[in-house]
Amino acid sequence: MQHQEAQDMKKLRLGAVETPPASEENFPPAIESSTLTGDLRDLILDTLRYEQDKRPWHERSEKDQHATIDRVERAVHEWVQRAVELVAAEGRAVIKATVAQVVIKDGIKAVLTLSQFDALRHALVDAQGKAVLLVVADAAVFEGERAPVPVVADQSGLPMSAHADTD
């Protein structure tokens, strides 16, 4: 079902290149482990289509460059988080939760907070007293970068004279 929604969203966005995504809520669209490479490719292509800027990067204003960088960084951050969750789930039914509290006394007791609207909330209630698998899917370990994206300044700096006074 989720895969079909993602495919429908791609078809809509590919057909309407002139318009940005309907809302920030659905950006980036859903991904699946079986289509992760294609989904990331589509994210990049959709970003390029949305911008419709034929100017080379170095001819764009700093503001335009930063807007593109921010949009891509937001999307990639979200997609890495989702990809880590997909890989960690390994096809299992998953309920996303936040660890609210951990108490260490006669074992370890954890309190989890999750959405009351999660589709699997009833399965969690039914699992009370049974063994469950808790997977920590922390995407923070993947948030590094080789280097910041270089931005070409709108105005280049003044050249420094080789004979500058050194008082």
pLDDT digits (tens, 9 = 90+) for 37-52: 787 788 788 777 777 7
Which amino acid is located at 124 in the chain? L
Task: Report the predicted TM-score, pTM, of the whole model to 2 decimal places.
Answer: 0.56
Q: What is the pLDDT along the chain (167 residues), one digit of tens a residue?
A: 445 444 444 443 433 333 344 344 555 566 677 777 787 788 788 777 777 788 888 888 999 889 888 888 888 888 888 888 888 888 788 888 999 999 999 999 999 999 999 999 999 999 999 988 888 888 887 777 778 888 888 887 777 766 655 55
Q: How far apart are CA 127 and CA 142, in angstroms?
A: 32
pLDDT digits (tens, 9 = 90+) for 68-77: 888 888 888 8
Q: Is the dihedral of CA 156, 158, 162, 165 positive or negative?
A: negative
Q: Is the dihedral of CA 110, 30, 41, 37 positive or negative?
A: positive
3-state secondary structure 88-135: HHCCCCCCCEEEEEEEECCCEEEEEEECCCCCCHHHHHHCCCCCCCCC
